[in-house]
């Protein structure tokens, strides 16, 4: 009687462990998520390198984003800025519940010669070719370095960039994030007191300002 009871107990334990193992195997890997606000299901996202709009359209000009039409003032953009912002983005998307792929090349799309609709179609085609449900692309309009040091500046850092999440199935932009800021002192803008102290209450570099902006955008990135 005791042996039979013990056997039944062990059988139940092994059965439970087997079910748990199956459950763990089923949960492995990225899941598909539906963006409630857009009704779009996304599992895999292709990330392209940031695109330097200042080099394409000129400096100190009010230009429109080639995808959404948002107006931004262009400024100096160092040659390594697209790489820096792309690396900042890669480091932060790891916390998001999607599967990401990365492209080392930005497709050649000349703003002056390609219509917005055609550009969107090309991005969609690129995402589909990669087998992605969506593509994440960003533009840099300004990445101007401060002149001075952490305690005194002649000119503060100034950064402007955006991000667009494009559904390859829906063939449309389902989310846009935009950051545009020239750092100000606490006395110039009390409304940004929290950000000022969060950044160490000093004059920060353009890379640091961009990183702060990237944190803000990823915080607002759509989540299931």
3 state SS of 175: strand
Q: Does position 171 have pLDDT exceeding 50, yes or no? A: yes
How far is it, in rounded angstroms, from Cα 58 to Cα 79?
Answer: 14
How far is it, in rounded angstroms, from Cα 159 to Cα 73?
Answer: 10
Q: What is the mean pLDDT of residues 64-83?
A: 94
pLDDT confidence of residue 41: 86
First to last CA, the chain: 52
pLDDT confidence of residue 39: 72
Q: Does position 83 have pLDDT exceeding 80, yes or no? A: yes
The rounded mean pLDDT for the chain is 79
Q: What is the mean pLDDT of residues 136-161?
A: 92
What pTM was estimated for this model as a whole?
A: 0.77
pLDDT confidence of residue 136: 96
pLDDT category at 7 given cuts 50, 70, 90 is very low
Query: What does the pLDDT look like over 96-147, one tens digit per residue?
Result: 999 999 987 666 555 444 456 688 988 998 899 999 999 999 999 999 999 9
How far is it, in rounded angstroms, from Cα 130 to Cα 210?
Answer: 28
Higher pLDDT, 180 or 194: 180
Residues 6+ apart with CB under 8 A from 43: 30, 31, 32, 33, 98, 99, 133
Contact in structure between 138 and 85 (CB atoms under 8 Å): yes
pLDDT confidence of residue 119: 84
Q: Which of 46-50, 180-184, 197-201 has the highest mean pLDDT?
A: 46-50
10 Å CB burial of residue 22 (0-12, 13-18, 19+) is exposed
Query: What does the pLDDT look like over 12-67, one tens digit per residue?
Result: 433 433 333 333 333 333 344 455 456 778 999 999 999 999 999 999 999 999 89
């Amino acid at each position: 009687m005791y042996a039979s009871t013990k056997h039944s107990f062990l059988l139940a334990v092994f059965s439970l462990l087997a079910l748990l193992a199956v459950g763990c195997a089923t949960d492995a890997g990225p899941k598909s998520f539906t963006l409630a606000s857009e009704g779009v299901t996304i599992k895999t996202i292709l990330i392209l390198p940031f695109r330097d709009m200042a080099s394409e359209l000129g400096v100190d000009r009010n230009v429109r984003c080639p995808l959404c039409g948002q107006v931004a003032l262009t400024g100096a953009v160092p040659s390594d800025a697209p790489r820096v912002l792309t690396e900042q983005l890669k480091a932060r998307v790891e916390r998001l519940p999607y599967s990401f792929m990365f492209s080392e090349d930005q497709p050649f799309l000349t703003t002056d010669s390609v219509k917005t609709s055609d550009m969107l179609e090309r991005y969609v085609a690129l995402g589909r070719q990669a087998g992605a449900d969506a593509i994440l692309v960003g533009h840099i309009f300004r990445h101007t370095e401060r002149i001075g040091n952490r305690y005194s500046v002649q000119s503060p850092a100034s950064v402007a960039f955006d991000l667009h999440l494009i559904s390859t199935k829906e063939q449309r932009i389902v989310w846009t994030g935009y950051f545009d800021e020239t750092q100000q002192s606490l006395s110039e803008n009390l409304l940004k007191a929290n950000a000022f102290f969060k950044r160490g209450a000093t004059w920060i570099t353009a890379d640091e300002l961009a990183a702060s902006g990237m944190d803000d955008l990823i915080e607002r990135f759509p989540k299931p």
